[in-house]
Amino acid sequence: MADIDPQPQLEELPGGLTAPAGWLAGGVYTGIRSYGPEPRFDLGLLLSERPATAAALFTRNAVVGAPVTLTRERVARGAARALVVNSGNSNVATGAAGDADAERMAELAAAALGVAAADVLVASTGVIGRRLPMDRIEAGIGEIELTREGGAQFARAMMTTDTRPKEQALRVEAGGRSYIVGGAAKGAGMIHPDMATMFGFLTTDAPVERGWLQETLREVTDRSFNMIDVDMDTSTSDMVIALANGAAGGEPIAAGHPAAAPLASAIEAVAVRLARELARDGEGARTLIEVVAEGAASDADARIAARTISASPLVKTMITGRDPNWGRVLMAAGRSGAALDLERTEVWIGEFCAFAQGAPTATPEADISAAMDRDEVQIRIDLGCGEASATAWGCDLTEEYVRINADYTT
Amino acid sequence: MADIDPQPQLEELPGGLTAPAGWLAGGVYTGIRSYGPEPRFDLGLLLSERPATAAALFTRNAVVGAPVTLTRERVARGAARALVVNSGNSNVATGAAGDADAERMAELAAAALGVAAADVLVASTGVIGRRLPMDRIEAGIGEIELTREGGAQFARAMMTTDTRPKEQALRVEAGGRSYIVGGAAKGAGMIHPDMATMFGFLTTDAPVERGWLQETLREVTDRSFNMIDVDMDTSTSDMVIALANGAAGGEPIAAGHPAAAPLASAIEAVAVRLARELARDGEGARTLIEVVAEGAASDADARIAARTISASPLVKTMITGRDPNWGRVLMAAGRSGAALDLERTEVWIGEFCAFAQGAPTATPEADISAAMDRDEVQIRIDLGCGEASATAWGCDLTEEYVRINADYTT
C-alpha cells in the first residue's frame, strides 16, 4: 500500500480537469443525446499539451462497451494525450459496428486535436444497444474550442441524469514543489450497485512513474468511487482514469519519493470529494448518507458492512421518511457477511446511539428522526469485533428516482 | 436430489394451511400492530390435532430475532404441534427480554391450545427493536377460535404490508392414497434481496420421514421462495416451515417410497404458487416479472443470473415505465457473475427477441414496450454457454414502494 499522507496541506482551487498546468478541454452540443430535458453539451475533448502518463481502472462487468475495450488497450501502453467523451449513447452491445465506431471517434478526435489516434482514449455513456450517430460526432467535433477553462464544458458533456457537473481541484505542496490535481466525475448515483455508468477522470501536472500512479489510483478508488452506490464493478462502461503530464516539472514521482505521499493524498482527496458529490446528486436524492463501519474484524468486513448499509433500499427509504426505524441498519449489517458481535454492536444515527449492549437504547425516537432531517446524515455502526473501519456514501431513495428511471429512454 | 415428479396430478383446492386433514387455525386482532391502515388480525394460531413431523429453513442473517432462535431449536427436535404467529413486531434486537417474550408467547399459546410449550413454534414479523406488547398477546390469545377454515385468519394475522393474504392448497394422488398440501406465505416483496421478512408455512396430512421432508423442503425452497426478491437469506426473521401430521394415513414417506415424487411435486407447486403471489404483491407493484435464465453453464450460473436480473432496480423500473431499454437486462446478467457468451446471448422480452448474435435485433421498440404492458411480463435470457436454466420472480418498482417504506413506522 502506497503511503498516503494523512495531513497533507491542500488548497482548494476553482475548476477541475483543466486546473493543472498543460491541460485544455471543451465541449459541444451535437444531438447525440436525443432524450432528456434540454439540449446541452454531449461531446467533450480533453487534451494534454504533452504526453501524459496514464493509469486506469475499468468495470468488471462481463459485458463491456466498445469504448472500454479500446481505452483499456490504449491505457495499457502507459501514456495518452487526449480523451474524447460523449453522453447519450454508451456504444454497448453494438457488435463489431460499435467497435469500429469507437475507433472512428478516436480518429475524429485525433484529427481535430492534431495528435495520433492511438493517443486518444474514448469514453461513452448513455443508452445501450444503439449505434452512435457518427454523423453528428463528425459534424460537431471540429467545433469544440479548447481552453484552459474548458474543463467545465467537458464535465457537462459527460452528464446523463446528473443534475449538475462535478469538478474538483486541489493544490498540494510536495517535495519542495507545487502540484495541482484536478478531476471531474459523472454518475447517476443509482440506488444500488448496478449499471449506472460512472466516470471519474483525474488530471495532474505532476510527473509520475506509471506503476506508482496505477497503484495509487487503485487504492484511492477503493476508498472513494468504489465506496459509493455507483459501483464501477458493475456497469458496462465505468472507468476511472488518471493522467499525469508532468508540466509542473521535477523528477518522476514513485514510491519513496518525498512527494509521493502528499500527492497521493491530494489525488485521494479529489476522488473522495467527487465521490461524495456523485452520491449527493444521486437520482432523485435529497440527502447524502455517509455510513461509517468501525470495530470490524478486517478491512474487508468494514468495507462490505458500510457498503451494504449504504446500498440498502430500506435504509435509504428510512432516511427519505426520517423514519426512526434504525433496526434496518442492524439488519443490513447482519446480511452483509461481516462478522458482528451483537452484544458489542452499536448503531448511531447522527449523534444519537440507538442500539447498544444487545438492546435498544432509551434515545427518544423523535431525536433519531430529527438527526435524519438534514442534508447530510451520518450512520455509524460499531461491529464490536476489531479495529478496522471504512466509510461509504449513498443517498436516500425517493419517488423521483422511480420517475427518472421509468422514463429513461422515452 | 429427491425425485420430483415433473407431471404430478394436482387438484386445486380452496383454503390453505387448514385444507389438509387434522389442521385447525384462527386469528385475532390484539393491537400489536399499532401502525398501518386499519385494525386487522395480528395474532394467529395453527394447531395439528396430532404431532407433526417438522422441517424448516431459517434466515442466514447474522442478526436473528428471538423467535428464530427458539423455533430453530424446537424444529431440531423433529416434531411440533402448533405455531403461533404475530405481525406488527418482529421481536428482533430486543436482547434477553426478547428471548423471554418469545418463550412466554409459546407458553401462552400452549396454555390456550392444551399442548406442551415445547411443542409450540413461534414466528414474529414487523418492527425491529421494540419489545412485544405481551399484555396484548396474553389478553388476545384466548379469544382465538380454532376452526377447519381458520387458515385464512391465520394467513391474515401474519400480513405486514401485504395487500392480501396468500394461501394455496393442492390435492395429490400418490402411492394409491390422496394427500393434501396446504400453505400460506407473507412477505412484502422488497425491491431487492434485503430484510423483508418472509414466512412460508406448509402443512400436509401426509405421513413423512423427517430427513426426507427437510431435504425436500430445501430443494423446493431453492426453486420457489429463494427465487423471489424477498430473500430468506437476509432478513432477521425469515422462516420456511413444513409440518406433516400423517392424518391421511399410510406408511411414512421417504426417498424411494412411491408417493415421494408426487408429494414433493405438490409441495413444490404450492411453494412456487405462493412465491409468485409474494412477488406479485410486492410493495407498490403492478406487474409480476418472471425471469428465465437459460443456456447457462451451470445451475448456479442460471440461478444467479435470473436472480440478479429480477432484483435489478433498473430492470424493475424499465418494466414500470414500459421502457424498451432492454440493455439493462444484458447488463444485470453481465454483472451477475454468470458466464456469458455475448455473441450467443439472446435477450427476449415476452415474445420479442431484442438482442441476438452480439447486436440489437430489428424488433421495433414499440413491440417491446407493448410486451411489457401486461400484468405478467416474462424476461428471458439465453447465456449461450450451456444447458442449465432457472426461473426467478420479481415485480416492478413504483413510486408507491418508496411511499410505503418511507413511512413504515410513522
Is the pLDDT score of A192 beyond 50? Answer: no
- Whether residues B130 and A339 touch (CB distance < 8 A) is answered with no
- Do B410 and A321 make contact, defined as CB atoms within 8 angstroms? yes
**How many helices (H) does chain A have, and how many strands (E)?**
11, 15
| Contacting residues for B208 by C-beta, under 8 A, at least 6 apart | B53, B244, B246, B252, B253, B254, B263
The pLDDT tens digits of the residues spanning A307-349 come to: 989 988 788 888 988 888 898 899 889 988 899 999 999 999 9
* CA atoms of A225 and A193, how far apart (whole Å): 11
* Distance to chain B for A32, nearest Cα, Å: 17
Residue B329 has pLDDT above 50, yes or no: yes
Task: With CB atoms and an 8 Å threshold, state whether A129 touches B405.
Answer: no
Question: DSSP readout, A155-186?
Answer: HHHT-SS-SS-EEEEEEEEETTEEEEEEEEEE
Distance of CA A267 to the CA centre of its chain: 12
**DSSP string of B5-40?**
-SS--EEE-S-STTSSTTEEEEEE--S---SSSS--
- Does B128 contact A320 at a Cβ distance shorter than 8 Å? no
Q: Which residue of A has its CA nearest to B404?
A: A317
Question: What local confidence, expressed as pLDDT, does residue A194 receive?
Answer: 38
A351 pLDDT more than 50: yes
DSSP per-residue letters across A11-46: EE-S-STTSSTTEEEEEE--S---SSSS----EEEE
Nearest to A155 by CA among A182, A127, A189: A182
What is the pLDDT averaged over residues B249-257?
94
pLDDT at B394 over 50: yes
Pairwise CA distance, residues B3 & B255, whole Å? 8
Q: If you search the block for the grid coordinates 432478513, which residue do you land on?
A: B235
Nearest CA to CA, how far is A343 from chain B (Å)?
Answer: 8
- For the stretch B103-146, pLDDT in tens is 999 999 999 999 999 999 999 998 888 899 999 999 999 999 99
Out of A88-92, A294-298, B351-355, least confident range: A88-92
Q: What is the dihedral of CA B76, B78, B81, B85, to 10 degrees?
A: 30
Q: pLDDT at position A191, please?
A: 36
Residues of A forming the active site: 197
Which residues in chain B have their CB less than 8 angstroms from residue A335's CB? 60-62, 194-195, 233-235
Q: Average the pLDDT over A177-190 and give the result.
A: 85
Nearest C-alpha in B relative to A407: B321
Q: With CB atoms and an 8 Å threshold, state whether B318 touches A406.
A: yes
Nearest CA in chain A to B399: A399
Q: What confidence tier does A144 reach under pLDDT thresholds 50, 70, 90?
A: very high
| pTM (two decimals) | 0.80
- pLDDT for residue B195: 42
* List of chain A residues whose C-beta atoms are within 8 Å of the C-beta of residue B331: 61, 63, 92, 128, 194-195, 234-236
Average per-residue pLDDT for chain A: 89
Closest residue on chain B to A235 (Cα): B331
Longest Cα–Cα distance in chain B = 68
- The DSSP symbol for B252 reads P
Q: Mean pLDDT highest for which of A186-195, B27-36, B350-359?
A: B350-359
Summarised one tens digit per residue, pLDDT across range B271-311 is: 999 989 888 887 778 899 999 999 999 999 999 999 989 98
Q: Which of B18, B125, B161, B197 is catalytic?
A: B197
Cell numbers describing residue A257? 519519493
pLDDT in tens, A51-74: 999 999 998 788 889 999 999 999
pLDDT band at B193 (very low <50, low <70, confident <90, very high): very low
pLDDT tens across A390-409, in order? 999 988 887 777 776 666 55
Q: Is the Cβ pair B194, A314 closer than 8 Å?
A: yes
